[in-house]
Amino acid sequence: MQSICLREAGVNVSSPLEEETTLMGLTFGGYLRSKIRCTRCHGKSERQERMMDLTVEIEGDIETLEDALRKFTGTECLDGDNKYYCGRCKSYEKAKKKLSILEAPNVLTIALKRFQSGKFGKLNKSIRFP
């Protein structure tokens, strides 16, 4: 959404650093921290990612926004087709991944993933929020 607003306003943002100084970046911009730990060698990888919104899953037993945020920040197992390439092991390995909000934006936009994995159509369920 924010990138469309910038484009419509005629703002040309060629780098993430330039984006931080725009009104949209200052208002909606924040940072996520991604931590991954290889379960074979226990090596750790940490990255910071620029975010303009949070996109949370509501499939399954998610009934509230709090549930969706808990799942978003919970530990995810990277396994099967989604294995992590470990630089120390030099191979794809099982790993644990955790996202956290490093720097919250002034205005947080939360988008609900309403598509069903492996199916056509949208989830048509209510989500309670505070």
Q: What is the pLDDT of residue 5?
A: 63
Mention every residue, 6+ apart, whose C-beta is less than 8 A from residue 50.
16, 19, 20, 29, 30, 31
CATH number of the domain within which 57 lies: 2.20.210.10
pLDDT, averaged across the chain: 89
Number of domains in the chain: 1
Of 82, 102, 101, nearest to 92 (Cα)? 82
> In this structure, is residue 50 part of a structural domain?
yes
Q: Is the pLDDT of residue 10 over 90?
A: no
Mention every residue, 6+ apart, whose C-beta is less than 8 A from residue 1.
52, 53, 109
> In this structure, is residue 37 part of a structural domain?
yes
| 55-101 per-position pLDDT tens digit | 999 998 999 999 999 999 999 999 999 999 999 999 999 999 999 99
